[in-house]
Structure 1
């Protein structure tokens, strides 16, 4: 547990110095970060799969062919305490299974590295963005913290000549986020917001640089291994005493590897997201909303045809309906006449007058103009389908969910880029202050910092351009969601109209059946009345014609 005790000692010294310099908030901040680290030990670190990767310079400041992976605490301690000076450039990488999994190192190994290199406590807050979590935390948080030990007293930041340190260094840590494409659980590649935490210290006297990078995958580890041999990191014998300009230039170039990652995938993300949105929205913008109108009609903006016909019947339809009703009534009369003629020929005038009254009742076009016949199997009056243009049927609520998903990732990416812009601006301000104070009389260092700031501002401008694109895309998605919701509502209305038409047709069919039943009931009433009227005469006629039956009747 030497690493843990050393970590506490270093943290205590920093807190003591903060209190001595009247920076009470800084002291409380560091203590709170350490307490949070203790509380999250189980979720933040993975003790079963501990591995830390080192990539550092060797003799004459040359990088090796392979990195060195350390798996246990004892090997890590032997690697750090080698009895000679620290390498001029050292990179430490810690990964994880994914961005929401514990870090692949134990807490003791993490503390040992931090205590050995006197890592500032401000780096602990970016570390908390990692660890086991069900859902992403911190809502795309990006932050920067810079400090230095240039004016610290000797007891606050002791010189370590045996390790090649002067005790005067600049320290900065930052947390950046950007979009990355990764495979989801169902095998589909999707865009997610990923984070990287980076800590850097630079000794202004010796030019030694230390880097501590935490990223779930190995993207920065691979890039640093590729770019580091290309940087000019001369041996100590090749530089003048106190000249750290080349080392500073190499450190600033390494910063750009991390900072440029913020804009790396934005173009592909915007293009793929826009293409996915266009696939859903384009059919919606071309849909014919008034799809109940007849395709051959020239009045596409008029009332739907079934409603127009039922509300404003033409003269032709009225005449057809009236003639059909009259024909139906005459047929009914003939049937009724034949039935009564078989009873008696003397009742024709009375029955005819009765039927004329019935005809006058049912020849009203308001009652029978739409139904000239009683044939219920006629298909000419079938209600129209709700989607005659076959367009609204392709719109689904699932598409709105997809649009909302695109909208959510765009808003999160926009927030991440906006916060990244703030971090990059803080880095520029930090190095501008360092150039104006510590490197004020070192022209080579000032030139390197000016070039670095120019490159960072170029990245900022690119990020701002991506922000404008994403904001425009977010507005387009919002409008598309509104259009899609209205189309689905329109489809719902059309389906409702369709069912209303079906119900109306069923009502009319029931009316036809009711009218037919009424007519048949009337006929039975006529027959009953006629029978009751002529039944006595029939008895008299039978008794007269057949006297032998008189005794029976």
Structure 2
């Protein structure tokens, strides 16, 4: 805590030695807390996980920002406490120690008692960035308030990460110490009776990522390009049933809930939302704060599922209305199946998140109903307060409305996943049909090519037969037309005047025969070798193509 004014002297508040020792060992959290509901091995395991997650969970720079909002219950503004510098925020460990009233590391006293209501908001620049707090500061806060170690499990989903993690993790934990004397150590100097209950849970909401131009104006984008993200909030609540002091620790990837709490508890808001004068008022205001978190967790799911319905209908509508066998039909691609599968997975994820949210809402409602039933929970002083009973009944009714709304969204999402699966199967059938049609077209082309090849083969066969028939005569005619063999009239007369029956004399030239063989044989060998080499290269190329396909 911090002083109400920078120059105001504050009295020393004596602290029990047990609490003092626990606080001095704050870096050993959760092993240092006084009330241990877990085995030592479980606490050591939580600390080991904290060591593993610390590098990505906490900021490594000086960008520390921890808003705190406190009320003393006095005045029209609920006794909103401010520092001498203006708004309440913690920017380093020293300012945190001053705010908590920690005078020196070795002191056995504090200088500031707990306010009637304290909000501590741990945040990050985004849901995928480290928290704007150091490990030392977080453990100091948790040790000072003796927070249930289960809260650590809800913090591990935050921190630096490429993709959202822990969306499938959810839970609700309660811890009560109502009996007299209390198992929890009373600290009267800090206005802690030791009789309290602690609630620890997380909720998830969904929000659309808005795009803007350089001037900061929103940009309209096609429905298929809209982006939504699921955001988490880890909430810890303590309520002292005897004194009425209230603590809230909220961890979120941004300051959305902080801004809502500021708006709810502002002077221009409802007075009952910042009423902390006595125990019953603090209790009723705590119910209102629970409702704020619960409303935050359900308000955008309707529109998110509506967006999924619109996207899937846009991407798969043609599968229902397009005709087969005409040129204007829509042509599907494998990417269409991927897109439908992606949005189907988002719908399944929404079902899971909504169901876990619903379980948490039911747990919160059931806890307060049991709390007001003396037969189930004894020693709760406000159970007989008529106003508190009415507030819990109204609270339970509003939670029931939220549960009904969540169940309706779950039913919509389940139906959407079934529709997406059915249409995805239709797209697969369309793709198979398109592939079959293409194969039919290729088959028709192949048949035409085969018919043309067949006609060409017949023509070539005819030509080959004719060539073979005339080849001997052509060869003989060509051979005898050379100078190798000549036919001459022995009389030397004119052939036209010679007797048709006169005998011609033939002369053979060995030199011409040799020259013919010298030219013809090498050319024939070269032709055969060239043809053989060409056939070899074609065969090797075909083998390589087959190997590539294998």
Please report the TM-score for the alignment, with normalisation by the length of structure 1.
Answer: 0.71
Asked if the contact 2:121/2:258 (under 8 Å) is kept, the reply is yes
CA deviation profile, 1:204-263 (whole Å, cap 9, x unmatched): 122221111111111101111001132426777xx6xxx522211111011111111221
Distance 1:426 1:106 in 2: 32
The 3 A distance-change label for structure 1 pair 516 and 546 is farther
Asked if the contact 1:143/1:423 (under 8 Å) is kept, the reply is yes
Q: Which residue of 1 aligns with 2:353?
A: 416
Distance 1:522 1:137 in 2: 79
Asked if the contact 2:118/2:246 (under 8 Å) is kept, the reply is yes
Find out whether 1:175 has 2:112 as its counterpart.
no
Aligned match for 1:87, one of 115, 128, 135: 115
Please report the TM-score for the alignment, with normalisation by the length of structure 2.
Answer: 0.71
Find out whether 1:404 has 2:431 as its counterpart.
no
Aligned length: 433
Find out whether 1:44 has 2:57 as its counterpart.
yes
Find out whether 1:217 has 2:254 as its counterpart.
yes
Post-superposition shift, 1:107?
0.7
Distance 1:28 1:165 in 2: 29
Cα RMSD (Å): 3.2
Find out whether 1:286 has 2:325 as its counterpart.
no
Find out whether 1:117 has 2:145 as its counterpart.
yes
Q: Which residue of 1 aligns with 2:443?
A: 500
CA deviation profile, 1:81-103 (whole Å, cap 9, x unmatched): 17233222211111112223221
Find out whether 1:163 has 2:190 as its counterpart.
yes
CA deviation profile, 1:169-188 (whole Å, cap 9, x unmatched): 1110101123222369xx95
Distance 2:50 2:358 in 1: 28
Post-superposition shift, 1:149?
2.1
Name the SS for the 1:176 alignment partner: strand
The 3 A distance-change label for structure 1 pair 246 and 518 is same
- By percentage of residues, which structure has more helix? 1
Asked if the contact 1:3/1:109 (under 8 Å) is kept, the reply is no
The 3 A distance-change label for structure 1 pair 490 and 231 is farther
Q: Which residue of 2 aligns with 1:425?
A: 362
Distance 1:109 1:74 in 2: 9
CA deviation profile, 1:448-506 (whole Å, cap 9, x unmatched): 11211111111111000000000000001111111111211221222222212111111
Asked if the contact 2:67/2:122 (under 8 Å) is kept, the reply is yes
Q: Which runs of structure 2 are paired with 1:81-480 in the superposition (5 Å)?
A: 81=101, 83-151=111-179, 153-154=181-182, 156-182=183-209, 189-229=226-266, 230-232=270-272, 244-289=279-324, 291=325, 389-392=327-330, 394-436=331-373, 437=377, 438=380, 439-480=382-423
Distance 1:544 1:13 in 2: 139
Unaligned runs of 5+ residues in structure 1 are: 292-387, 533-542
The 3 A distance-change label for structure 1 pair 531 and 399 is closer
The 3 A distance-change label for structure 1 pair 4 and 62 is closer
Post-superposition shift, 1:405?
1.0
Distance 2:274 2:453 in 1: 100
Aligned match for 1:68, one of 88, 106, 124: 88
Name the SS for the 1:191 alignment partner: strand
Unaligned runs of 5+ residues in structure 2 are: 1-19, 102-109, 212-220, 476-494, 506-550
The 3 A distance-change label for structure 1 pair 487 and 460 is same
Post-superposition shift, 1:152?
6.8
Distance 1:287 1:235 in 2: 62
Name the SS for the 2:59 alignment partner: coil
The 3 A distance-change label for structure 1 pair 523 and 36 is closer
Asked if the contact 2:275/2:281 (under 8 Å) is kept, the reply is no
The 3 A distance-change label for structure 1 pair 30 and 214 is same
Q: Which residue of 1 aligns with 2:499?
A: 547
